[in-house]
Structure 1
Amino acid sequence: PNAGFSFDEITVSVMDMANNLIQDTVVVIFWNENCLSSLKETIPLRLILEQNYPNPFQHYTTIPFQLKQSDQITLFIYTTEGELIKKEHFGRLPVGEHQYFWTAAQVNGSALRPGWYFYALRNQEGATLVKKMIMIE
């Protein structure tokens, strides 16, 4: 029977500049739009990642997020090549609205280049939300 969704497994492979290969298999869920509206009403969102602002940005940006229950939170910022350029572990945060102010002028002593970046928010159970942002000159 159709429960309003289907799923598939996808293997993601990433190789760095030193030819180190990392692979992981993820399960992707495809929701039927009619089922999704009723599901949103019954399952509260525990973690909400909002769009950074300003976006695009030059030297700094704010990344807002909300917690519907207290949780251990870590924020990651990556280049489009998958290079981790920032990891901020907040520890246990209370319920409510939070924000992280990021100054993007230098990372490890090197100036960041204009372009697309991804930021990801992960809770203690491993649930991860990702959004993209763009830095301009």
Structure 2
Amino acid sequence: MKLASMIVFSSLVILMAMPSAMAVTWEVEIEDFAFVPGRLRINVGDAIEWRNRDDISHTATSDNGVFNSGLLARDQTFTFLFTEPGVYPYHCTPHPTMRDTITVVGPTGVGDLPVAPREFEIAQNYPNPFNASTTIGFSLPSDGRVTVEIFNLLGQRLVTLVDGEMSAGSHRMIWDAGELQSGVFFYRVGFDGQSRTGRMTLLK
């Protein structure tokens, strides 16, 4: 009986000593005026390393002041360790349309709560320039009717990607240029009587 008890006790000690999860360092590249990947869901204890791939300097700055990379020149990095669960929207200070969100989840899933953006914004499409398809991102502070339209240089509407009700939050739409030839195009996002327009370049 004593031997059996010792074996069971030893097994418990080994199991208790094993970590429940391994901490991870996630890599986010800042490229073509976008954070890639965008929205991330990570665990408490994980870290994120941002690396600027653009020739222009950028920052990774949280909206609530929790972290701030300062200006990152090309190939410079910034790493931040997340020790508290929560939702961390962040942006690039010199280019405020560059925005994304990090959700940090604790052991019980705390922090996995959606937070509506504070205002209506669009992001630069990614990639840009692009070949064949690109992603258009935008943020809505409340539920409402949304239109997403694509125009050519002559102002002619080529396609309507969205025309309907959408919920508050961050959204992404993919536009496939199909058989269109190389050129400059515009995307216009309409919401609540407002509109925002972005410029993009198709290279084939």
Using the size of structure 2 for normalisation, the TM-score is 0.41
How far residue 79 of structure 1 moved from its aligned partner, in angstroms, is: 0.4
CA contact (8 A) 2:161 2:175 kept: no
Q: Which runs of 5+ in 2 are unaligned?
A: 1-116
In the alignment, what sits opposite 1:108?
A: none
Q: Deviations over 1:8-47 (max 9, x none)?
A: xxxxxxxxxxxxxxxxxxxxxxxxxxxxxxxxxxxx9531
In the alignment, what sits opposite 1:121?
A: 189
Inter-partner Cα distance in structure 1 for 2:142 and 2:191 = 11
2:159 is aligned with what amino acid?
K
1:114 is aligned with what amino acid?
S
Please point out which of 27, 47, 51 is paired with 2:120.
47
1:47 is aligned with what amino acid?
F
The aligned length equals: 88
Q: What secondary structure sits across from 2:155 in the alignment? A: coil
Counterpart check, 1:132 vs 2:190:
no
1:54 is aligned with what amino acid?
P
Inter-partner Cα distance in structure 2 for 1:90 and 1:84 = 14
Inter-partner Cα distance in structure 1 for 2:144 and 2:159 = 20
Inter-partner Cα distance in structure 2 for 1:135 and 1:57 = 5
Q: What secondary structure sits across from 1:53 in the alignment? A: coil
2:195 is aligned with what amino acid?
T
Q: Percent identity?
A: 30
In the alignment, what sits opposite 1:68?
A: 141
Q: Which runs of 5+ in 1 are unaligned?
A: 1-43, 106-110
Q: Deviations over 1:41-98 (max 9, x none)?
A: xxx9531111000000000000010111111000110001111101123411111110
Question: Could you say which structure has the greater relative contact order, defined with CA pairs below 8 angstroms and 6 or more residues apart?
Answer: 1
Using the size of structure 1 for normalisation, the TM-score is 0.60
Q: What secondary structure sits across from 1:54 in the alignment? A: coil
User: Which 4+ runs in 1 deviate beyond 4 A?
Assistant: none
2:140 is aligned with what amino acid?
L
1:136 is aligned with what amino acid?
L
In the alignment, what sits opposite 2:151?
A: 78
Inter-partner Cα distance in structure 2 for 1:136 and 1:67 = 30
Inter-partner Cα distance in structure 2 for 1:122 and 1:102 = 16
Larger Rg: 2
